Amino acid sequence: MENEKAFVRHFFQAGVPQPEKLDIIAQHFHEKLIDKHDHLLSEGKISQEYLLLESGFMRAYSLDTEGDEVTTAFYGAGQPVFDVASFFMHTPAKESIQALAPCSGWVISFDDLNKLFHSIPEFREVGRGILVKGYASLKLRMQSMITETAETRYAMLLHSNPEIFRQAPLKHIASYLGITDSSLSRIRRDISRQHK
Amino acid sequence: MENEKAFVRHFFQAGVPQPEKLDIIAQHFHEKLIDKHDHLLSEGKISQEYLLLESGFMRAYSLDTEGDEVTTAFYGAGQPVFDVASFFMHTPAKESIQALAPCSGWVISFDDLNKLFHSIPEFREVGRGILVKGYASLKLRMQSMITETAETRYAMLLHSNPEIFRQAPLKHIASYLGITDSSLSRIRRDISRQHK
DNA sequence: TCTACTTCTTGCCAAATGGCAAGTGTATTG
DNA sequence: CAATACACTTGCCATTTGGCAAGAAGTAGA
């Protein structure tokens, strides 16, 4: 009966093998559709939803002191999407999360998520794993930002995450890489010249 | 009888008000002393200890592709010190953690920490809070790295964390800020000229 | 105390990146 | 279909930062 939530069940299957527990987990998720350009979360609001993205593409961004957008993350299908600080600390979000393509996924509230964390140990292990992996990849990105040139960072992102380049305009990718869109354009020109 | 562990009890008191639970928590921590320049964790090893630093000063660093050290974090008294990824995922550490001054603190093993997480819900809330706050501050740092000049980042760090400048040599601070020690030296010269 | 090492600074020049504005091409939409 | 917005590129020049090497000053050891 809960089989429309096959995606949710599949997402947790490796960490929570017991079907009965998967049932309980799946019951607490609700379908969510987001139109292209619409927001899952807006800066200043308190995040209420933890989203598992089944299809589509999203980005998180915030505004710098000059008011320019800085893209801080991209999310593809299969990934959990939420603002860690706002969702877990109930503080106003410092960033917004927006659909770059029509999105569908499954959301759970903070209270429901916490109930599951308390009642299903395996589930909270999965939750911790998600946090820890996000932390680790952010650290890698910081390391790369410090030690590599923009050209190298661009090449690495293109290689490791080509989907981003199919879904996001270059200006978003540029600010994600920590450079301006002009510089990214020049980097692309230089690389294409090298390949001749 | 457990009163030498006053620091541990105090650390968790706000999140775990019940004295009996504090007793159980404190029982699982063991004292640890680290000489200046010695390591709590070395790159390649799997982190076994979660440390609460009672006194002293530490830094985390890793090696870039050229083999140069990049300082990724500083830790003062009162802070938890551990490599999130290695400790929670049992993977080889990508960074080392070293004492920049004689350190004393309290450590707990992964298994003991997990036992406490499972048996004391308030304790695991504290644990999650530590993770989430670390995540949030790393994000802020990334944002700053993207949008601010090195000079601004230096000024902000000096203002928000002056202890670092008392404890760490400038070359560590420079790589933490994402610049070379020469550039940091020039930035300091320019700032001191402005103040004349 | 003498020596060696580390820390910090500085000069010189090169490389990387930004700021601004213009130009081209492509979607979008009324 | 016209009008408008958006995405991307490029030229020109300024600013920021790096690389390298040398030197001054302080520190730690033998």
Same-domain check for residues A109 and A152 = no
Determine the residue of chain B that is closest to A64 in CA distance: B147
Between chains, do A132 and B62 touch, taking CB under 8 Å as contact?
no
For residues A179 and B2, which has the higher predicted lDDT (pLDDT)? A179
d(C-alpha A118, C-alpha B3), whole Å: 31
Between chains, do A135 and B136 touch, taking CB under 8 Å as contact?
no
Domain boundary among A112, A138, A164: A138
Same-domain check for residues A26 and A56 = yes
Mean pLDDT of B171-194: 94
Domain boundary among A118, A138, A158: A138
Determine the residue of chain B that is closest to A122 in CA distance: B118
Same-domain check for residues B63 and B156 = no
Residue A84 domain-assigned (yes or no) = yes
Range B155-176 burial, b when 16+ CB lie within 10 A, else e: eebeeeeeebeebbeebbbbbb
What are residue A104's DSSP bridge partners?
A: A33, A55
Whole-number pLDDT of residue B4: 77
Mean pLDDT of B182-192: 95
Residues A57, A100 contacting (CB under 8 angstroms): yes
Burial class (CB in 10 A: 0-12, 13-18, 19+), A65: exposed
Whole-number pLDDT of residue B67: 86
Whole-number pLDDT of residue A158: 96
The CATH code of the domain that includes A34 is 2.60.120.10
Whole-number pLDDT of residue A4: 77
Same-domain check for residues A132 and A156 = no
Whole-number pLDDT of residue A174: 98
Whole-number pLDDT of residue A194: 75
Whole-number pLDDT of residue A67: 87
**Residue-wise pLDDT tens digits, B94-120:** 999 999 999 999 999 999 999 999 999
Same-domain check for residues B173 and B188 = yes
Residues A43, A95 contacting (CB under 8 angstroms): yes
Residue A152 domain-assigned (yes or no) = yes
Between chains, do B132 and A70 touch, taking CB under 8 Å as contact?
no
Same-domain check for residues A128 and A78 = yes
d(C-alpha A181, C-alpha A75), whole Å: 20
Phi–psi pair at B107, nearest 5 degrees: -120, 155
Interface with B, mutate which of A128, A145, A152 (most B CBs under 10 A): A128
Residue A61 domain-assigned (yes or no) = yes
**Domain limits at B172?**
148-196
Whole-number pLDDT of residue B164: 97
Same-domain check for residues A117 and A153 = no
Same-domain check for residues A31 and A80 = yes
Residue A143 domain-assigned (yes or no) = no
Does residue A196 surpass a pLDDT of 70?
no
Does residue A2 surpass a pLDDT of 60?
no
Minimum-distance nucleotide, CA of A168 to C1' = D7
**Residue-wise pLDDT tens digits, B66-95:** 889 999 999 999 999 999 999 999 999 999
Window A146-175, strand D contacts by Cβ < 7 Å: 169-171
The tally of domains found in chain A comes to 2
**Residue-wise pLDDT tens digits, A112-151:** 999 999 999 999 999 999 999 999 999 999 999 999 999 9
Same-domain check for residues B134 and B164 = no
Same-domain check for residues A158 and A62 = no
**Residue-wise pLDDT tens digits, B57-74:** 999 999 998 889 999 999
Same-domain check for residues B154 and B91 = no
Interface with A, mutate which of B88, B110, B140 (most A CBs under 10 A): B88
Does residue A193 surpass a pLDDT of 90?
no
Domain boundary among A138, A162, A179: A138
Which residue, among A132, A92, A112, has the nearest Cα to A24 in the 3D structure?
A112
Residue A44 domain-assigned (yes or no) = yes
Does residue A160 surpass a pLDDT of 60?
yes
Residues A118, A25 contacting (CB under 8 angstroms): no
Does residue B196 surpass a pLDDT of 70?
no
B53: distance to nearest CA of chain A, Å? Answer: 21
Chain B residues whose C-beta is within 8 A of a chain A C-beta are: 62, 64-65, 68, 70, 72, 84-85, 88-89, 118, 121, 124, 128-129, 131-136, 138-139, 141-143, 145-148, 175, 178
Same-domain check for residues A34 and A129 = yes
Residue A76 domain-assigned (yes or no) = yes
d(C-alpha B7, C-alpha B25), whole Å: 12
Does residue B194 surpass a pLDDT of 90?
no
Does residue B195 surpass a pLDDT of 80?
no
